[in-house]
Amino acid sequence: MAATIIDSGIFGDIFSTAAMRAVWSDENRTQKYLDVEAALARVQAGLGIIPREAADEIVANCRVEKIDMAKLKARTEAIGYPVLGVVSQLNALCRDRLGEYCHWGATTQDITDTATVLQIREALALVDDDLAALSSTLAGLARRYRDTPVAGRSNLQQAIPVTFGYKMAGLLAAVERHRARLAELRPRVLVGEFAGAAGTLASLERGAMETQAELMRALGLGQPLIAWHTMRDCIAEVGAFLGLVGGTLGKIETDIKLMMQTEVAEVYEPFAPGRGSSSTMPQKRNPISCCYIHAAISVVRQHAAALIDAMVADHERSTGPWEIEWIVLPEAFCLIAGALRQARFILDGLEVDAARMRANLDITNGLVMSEAVMMGLGPHIGREYAHDLVYDLCRAALAQNRPLLELLAEHPEIGRHLDRTALARLCEPANYLGQAGTMVDRVLASLSR
């Protein structure tokens, strides 16, 4: 019976995905143990360390469907680790005691860590696919809304106009940085482990380093320079990376749910009948996917911190910190997969109301253009004096509930330098978008590089 949100029959595909759960499932983890054991046997047979016949027999039985999972559960509970239970069953499956050559020179953590790295490789591929899809969608939104004015906001107040394409391009640039980070961390993280009891490979009298090198080559992993049984920085780096991705997903959902507010109403999550409705208020359209993302990434951040805590390990084999990874690494990946899925859903069907964006720029009676007016007056009367003068006129416009343009046009000192037509140009939001379009173009151009 499922008890966690990730494995829930109701919530599971909201907060995670079937593909990511499969990566971290008991079955896949156990198969990864077997994959490492099979590769080790092949390599050692090739180096003449174990008999070829033994390797063939071991490899033939390294299939998860041959493992009695109930027996493995009981053995793990008794011993504390699953690898020995897998090795014992594998040994028993092999004929003529050939299974005795299984796990030759390895220690439990060698197999566990290398299997975990293989799982991480699969999991990162799923994350990369989602990031690539997000990038493509954000690029389309940035391109489409390159020149669509929207209020830029500072401290939740209207600041100056930007464009919606500019907002999307900023997110796109962040997603592309995550993709670059992922490419950079792979060579550091996708490194296996085969080092023996305390990391020195004393268990093999000959062919130790050759076994290590060939094993990693067979698994498509990097060869470690030195054992990393209690050097967990690379696993922690994965957690930090997931936390960073979650942070950007949080930025996406935060802006969207704020822009979905009734008083703003500039964008909406995709519509589906009944989605986001309230049990008591029929008019409501709640930001459901945004809420799911917010919850998931909050936990991912805590898990990233836990993985850093797991770096504080004792001596050459630790007592406790390692097991932190067993708990939080699968959950972090599963939750980030769910958050990525929700973000893709939102952005793929995002409803954008450009007319409402423009209308919201006009609700302050032109005050959103005060900086533009100040900069326009600056060459004539000095920037600092222009600031103070426009500040006073803004307060008057608020008090009198009049358009800023009218008060500007009536002011005799301003009128000596700028007529109403010139002032109207300064008060037009579409004329004060700065280099927003150029920056969008730069981000889009970077994709091809």
Q: Quick one: angle between helices 288-309 and 321-348, nearest 10?
A: 160
Q: Which residues are catalytic?
A: 278, 317
- Kindly state the tokens that stand for 95: 């004929």
In order of 65, 67, 83, 145, 438, the CA distances from 75 in angstroms are 17, 12, 10, 59, 63
Domain boundaries, the chain: 15-358, 359-435
User: What is the rounded CA–CA span in Å between residue 344 and residue 249?
Assistant: 10
First to last CA, the chain: 49
Strand 351-352 relative to strand 149-154: parallel, antiparallel, unpaired?
Answer: unpaired
Query: Is residue 167's pLDDT more than 90?
Result: yes
Q: Does domain 359-435 have CATH number 1.20.140.10?
A: no
Work out whether the CA dihedral 426, 431, 433, 439 comes out positive or negative: negative
**Mean pLDDT lowest for which of 43-47, 71-75, 81-85, 412-416?**
412-416
User: Which residues are within 8 A (CB) of 134 and not within 5 positions of it... i.e. 6 or more apart?
Assistant: 175, 340, 343, 344, 347
Q: Which residue is listed with tokens 């239970």?
A: 85
Instruction: Over range 170-177, report the average pLDDT.
Output: 98
Is the C-alpha dihedral spanning 178, 180, 184, 187 positive or negative? Answer: positive
| DSSP letter assigned to residue 269 | P
Distance (Å, whole) CA 443 – CA 136: 12
Neighbours of 438 (CB within 10 A): 11
> Residue 207 has what pLDDT?
95
Question: Whose CA is closest to 231, among 165, 287, 333, 313?
Answer: 313
Name every residue whose Cβ is closer than 8 Å to that of residue 150 and which is 6 or more positions away in sequence.
161, 162, 163, 164, 167, 266, 357, 360, 361
- For residue 449, name the pLDDT band (cuts at 50, 70, 90): confident
What residue has token string 């703003």?
Answer: 264
Residue 448 has pLDDT above 80, yes or no: no
Predicted confidence band of residue 338 (pLDDT cuts 50, 70, 90): very high
Whether 359-435 and 15-358 are alike in CATH topology: the answer is no
Position 425 pLDDT exceeds 90: yes
Mean pLDDT across 320-343: 97
What pLDDT does residue 279 have?
A: 62
Q: Which residue has the higher pLDDT, 380 or 279?
A: 380
Q: Are 166 and 439 in contact (CB under 8 A)?
A: yes
For the chain, give the mean pLDDT: 95
Contacts of 219 (CB under 8 A, 6+ apart): 35, 36, 39, 114, 118, 192
Segment 5-20, tens digit of pLDDT: 999 999 999 999 999 9
404: amino acid identity, one letter: L
Q: What phi and psi, each to the nearest 5 degrees, are found at residue 352?
A: -115, 125
Question: pLDDT tens digit string along 44-63?
Answer: 999 999 999 999 999 999 99
φ, ψ of residue 150 to 5 degrees: the values are -150, 155
Phi, psi of 151 (to 5 degrees): -70, 125
The mean per-residue pLDDT over the stretch 303-310 comes to 98
Q: Is the pLDDT of residue 356 over 70?
A: yes
Query: Contact at 8 Å (CB) between 394 and 404?
Result: yes
Give the model confidence (pLDDT) of 117-160 as tens digits: 999 999 999 999 999 999 999 999 999 999 999 999 999 999 99
Q: Name residues whose C-beta falls within 8 Å of residue 377's C-beta, 6 or more positions apart in sequence.
A: 386, 389, 390, 414, 417, 418
CB atoms within 10 A of CB 1: 4
**CATH for the stretch 15-358:** 1.20.200.10
407 has pLDDT over 90: yes
